[in-house]
Amino acid sequence: MGRLDGKVAIISGGARGQGATEARMLAMEGASVVFGDILDDEGRQVEAQIRELGGEATYVHLDVTSEADWKSAVDTAVSAYGKLNVLVNNAGILIRKTLEETTGEDWDRIMSINAKGVFLGTRVAIPAMREAGGGSIVNISSTAGLVSSPSGSASYTATKGAVRLLTKSTAIQYAREGIRCNSVHPGPIETDMIQDSLSDPAQMELRMQRLPMGRVGKPEEVAYGVIYLASDESSFVTGSELVIDGGTTAQ
Ligand code: NAD
């Protein structure tokens, strides 16, 4: 028995990193998974790997800034698997610049992927979730959506703060319809996104000072939290913040 048996899920940014791990782990818990990205070759490889493991997964091209792409992802979920129960808004980018280094173009780009992308996905998924009698939306924010950091990117922090409160707004507006919405706040997780800083000793030293557990996290450690929020185990949980950060924001 899987914890997500019978559920149909969409995951954005699933070709790499945490999204690819979530696609695989949700499928292994019994969900039928539609996952999208802009990296189509890598996405199709992840699809093949999940199918080899016996999971049910379909890759779609999904640029989260495109409402038309979101519509076709939801259409794929409904036509291939009959409904939509879960949306994981995971896709995101990091622009590592100080406030003064950040250009207006940088700001618009990161806002449009990290914040508007979550809004569009939510807006398009809700009618299908209503049709299914309820659902669960999991928004991947960050510890950067809770607090800033000495080396933190100003624009990234702003997008993740936006995701945190969009989550609460969504939770309140749809609570009576059985559609839950929660945010996840990972600390540093070993993926391509932060590879530059993981291989820089000075940056690593700064990171370790902020990591009581003395290590960065693994994508699986976030995916377990996503599975909990996606499943009926969290049926009374909405508008909440699940912090998975090795103690970073506790100090
Ligand atoms: P990653 O760079 O490995 O993966 C991000 C994925 O998003 C990539 O596959 C990328 O192609 C995709 N993506 C980028 N732009 C897209 C677009 N317009 N449409 C669709 N997909 C797009 O990084 P990750 O660590 O797996 O990041 C996943 C999420 O976790 C992000 O929202 C990120 O901000 C968040 N996060 C990461 C960390 C970390 O330390 N890695 C910490 C906290 C939060």
Q: Is 156 a catalytic residue?
A: yes
Mean pLDDT of the chain, nearest integer? 97
- State how far the Cα of 33 lies from the Cα of 8, in Å rounded to an integer: 6
* Neighbour order of strands in the sheet with 179-186: 56-61, 32-37, 8-12, 86-89, 135-140, 179-186, 241-244
245 lines ligand 1 (CB under 6 A): no
Among 16, 21, 25, 72, the mutation site with the greatest number of ligand 1 atoms within 8 A of its Cβ is 16
- State how far the Cα of 106 lies from the Cα of 226, in Å rounded to an integer: 29
CA of 19 to the centre of ligand 1 (A): 7
To which H or E segment does residue 154 belong?
helix 154-174
16 lines ligand 1 (CB under 6 A): yes
pLDDT band at 152 (very low <50, low <70, confident <90, very high): confident
Tell me, letter by letter, the H, E, C secondary structure of 92-114. CCCCCCCCCCCCHHHHHHHHHHH
CA of 91 to the centre of ligand 1 (A): 5
Predicted local confidence at residue 204, as pLDDT: 87
190 lines ligand 1 (CB under 6 A): no
CA of 176 to the centre of ligand 1 (A): 31
8-188+220-243, CATH topology level: Rossmann fold (3.40.50)
Predicted local confidence at residue 245, as pLDDT: 98
pLDDT tens digits for range 220-250: 999 999 999 999 999 999 999 999 999 999 9
- State how far the Cα of 224 lies from the Cα of 242, in Å rounded to an integer: 11
Predicted local confidence at residue 34, as pLDDT: 99
37 lines ligand 1 (CB under 6 A): yes
Active-site entry in 59, 156, 174, 224: 156
Among 151, 183, 193, 211, the mutation site with the greatest number of ligand 1 atoms within 8 A of its Cβ is 193
The reported pTM is 0.98
pLDDT tens digits for range 1-35: 899 999 999 999 999 999 999 999 999 999 999 99
Predicted local confidence at residue 151, as pLDDT: 74
92 lines ligand 1 (CB under 6 A): yes
Among 11, 12, 18, the mutation site with the greatest number of ligand 1 atoms within 8 A of its Cβ is 18
148: left (phi over 0), alpha (psi -120 to 50) or beta: beta
CA of 193 to the centre of ligand 1 (A): 7
Q: Where are the domains of the chain?
A: 8-188+220-243
